[in-house]
């Protein structure tokens, strides 16, 4: 009878292992780290999570509201997300472990998935504030984005290159895009600096409520930043209501990043699903329309995830 008992035990263990494997397979999670709901990262992240849930078997995918780039990268390093949107300069700082940018140590688990679209430095003032140039910001009330967010890091870089310190401003607010706009509508702020894709909802909303001035960031200021991630660019005329001419500014690439703890198979499937369903991403926000697979690995500041590398080799992007 003992041998029957042993066989029964063995079958029970095998069944438990098989059952556990099945549960593990069913409980595949992809948490996409985004940004504030009034920015571009959030609708992009929601679209990606929907693509993954539909296209990748046995996956439950969600999009999480965050304070964007810096927080996203720290969460990835801690394994509290599988994919994140981030600005190039924040990603580079995280990989180097730049403490001034909010990264106490090198975030060595970060791995690249794809380049996406460019952010544009968009400094918008109320017309009644009298602000027309960067120099005019001195003595005024400015929101620079959530503290140590990608936007705030961009704000520091641009203002420093223009010879402006936070102490030169009458007031500095560290607020997400939507809250900044509400304060401007209520005349509690003079201007907001938002690093986002063109046509960001918050500024479109503001331009319908008050008369705005989009403040230029001249090419010589962009050059003084001294970071190759910052490129001379323009905000095309009529991007926002009342903005009738092209406005000089700086553009910074955005990247999708994962981490080394994500399996090669999941990273491969995320890259493939994204590009197989790129029209869904384009429909999520106008800024996404500049995402091209041919540019996916250009300028990546961190090592490419082996799973993503497999996909790009498969489609001929990497020889």
pLDDT tens readout for residues 142-193? 999 988 888 999 999 999 999 999 999 999 999 999 999 999 999 999 999 9
Closest CA relative to residue 108, chosen from 280, 264, 260, 268 = 260
pLDDT tens readout for residues 40-74? 999 999 999 999 999 999 999 999 999 899 999 99
Phi, psi values for residue 86, rounded to 5°? -155, 155
Residue-level pLDDT at 31? 98
Cα end-to-end span (Å), the chain: 62
Tokens 């571009």 correspond to: 40
Residue-level pLDDT at 26? 57
Question: Strand, helix or coil at 256?
Answer: strand
> Taking residues 123-142, what's their average pLDDT?
98
Per DSSP, the residues of 128-195 read: GGT--SSGGGTTSEEE--STTSHHHHHHHHHHHHTT--GGGSSEEE---HHHHHHHHHTTS-SEEEEE
pLDDT tens readout for residues 61-120? 999 999 899 999 999 999 999 999 999 999 999 999 999 888 999 999 999 999 999 999
> Taking residues 232-248, what's their average pLDDT?
97
Tell whether the model's pLDDT for residue 4 goes beyond 50: no
Q: How confident is the model at residue 299 (pLDDT cuts 50, 70, 90)?
A: very high
pLDDT tens readout for residues 5-52? 544 555 554 444 444 444 445 568 999 999 988 889 999 999 999 999
Tell whether the model's pLDDT for residue 233 goes beyond 50: yes
d(CA 44, CA 114): 14
Length, in residues, of the chain = 319
Residue-level pLDDT at 253? 96
Q: CA angle, 38 as apex, 35 and 43 as ends, to 5°?
A: 65
Q: 112, 295 in Cβ contact below 8 A? A: no
Q: How confident is the model at residue 245 (pLDDT cuts 50, 70, 90)?
A: very high
Token pair for residue 254? 């955005």
Domains and CATH numbers, the chain: 2-117+254-314 (3.40.190.10), 119-252 (3.40.190.10)
Q: CA angle, 67 as apex, 62 and 70 as ends, to 5°?
A: 105
For helices 201-209 and 177-185, give the axis angle rounded to 10 degrees: 10
- Residue 203 C-alpha from the chain's centroid: 18
Token pair for residue 176? 């997400």
Neighbours of 256 (CB within 10 A): 23
Residue-level pLDDT at 22? 46
């Amino acid at each position: 009878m003992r041998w029957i008992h042993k066989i029964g035990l063995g079958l029970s263990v095998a069944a438990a292992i098989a059952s556990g494997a099945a549960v593990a397979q069913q409980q595949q999670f992809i948490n996409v780290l985004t940004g504030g709901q009034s920015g571009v990262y959030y609708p992009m992240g929601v679209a990606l999570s929907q693509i993954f849930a539909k296209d990748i078997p046995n996956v439950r995918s969600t999009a999480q509201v965050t304070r964007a780039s810096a927080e996203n990268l720290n969460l990835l390093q801690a394994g509290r997300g599988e994919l994140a949107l981030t600005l190039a300069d924040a990603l580079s700082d995280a990989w180097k472990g730049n403490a001034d940018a909010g990264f106490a140590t090198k975030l060595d688990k970060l791995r690249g998935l794809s380049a996406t679209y460019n952010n544009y430095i968009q400094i918008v003032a109320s017309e009644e504030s009298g602000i027309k140039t960067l120099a005019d910001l001195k003595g005024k009330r400015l929101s620079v984005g959530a503290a140590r967010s990608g936007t705030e890091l961009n704000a520091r870089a641009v203002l420093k290159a223009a010879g402006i310190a936070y102490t030169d401003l009458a007031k500095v607010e560290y607020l997400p895009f939507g809250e900044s706009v509400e304060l401007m509508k209520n005349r509690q702020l003079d201007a907001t600096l938002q690093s986002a894709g063109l046509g960001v909802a918050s500024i479109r909303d503001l331009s319908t409520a008050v008369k705005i001035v989009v403040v230029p960031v001249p090419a010589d200021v962009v050059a003084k930043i001294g970071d190759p991630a910052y490129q001379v660019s323009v905000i095309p005329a009529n991007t926002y209501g009342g903005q009738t001419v092209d406005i000089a500014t700086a553009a910074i690439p955005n990247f999708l990043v994962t981490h080394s703890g994500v399996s090669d198979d999941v990273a491969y499937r995320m890259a493939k699903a994204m590009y197989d369903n790129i029209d869904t991403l384009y429909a999520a926000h106008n800024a996404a329309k500049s995402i091209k697979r041919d540019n996916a690995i250009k300028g990546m500041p961190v090592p490419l995830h082996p799973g993503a590398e497999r996909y790009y080799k498969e489609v001929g992007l990497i020889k």
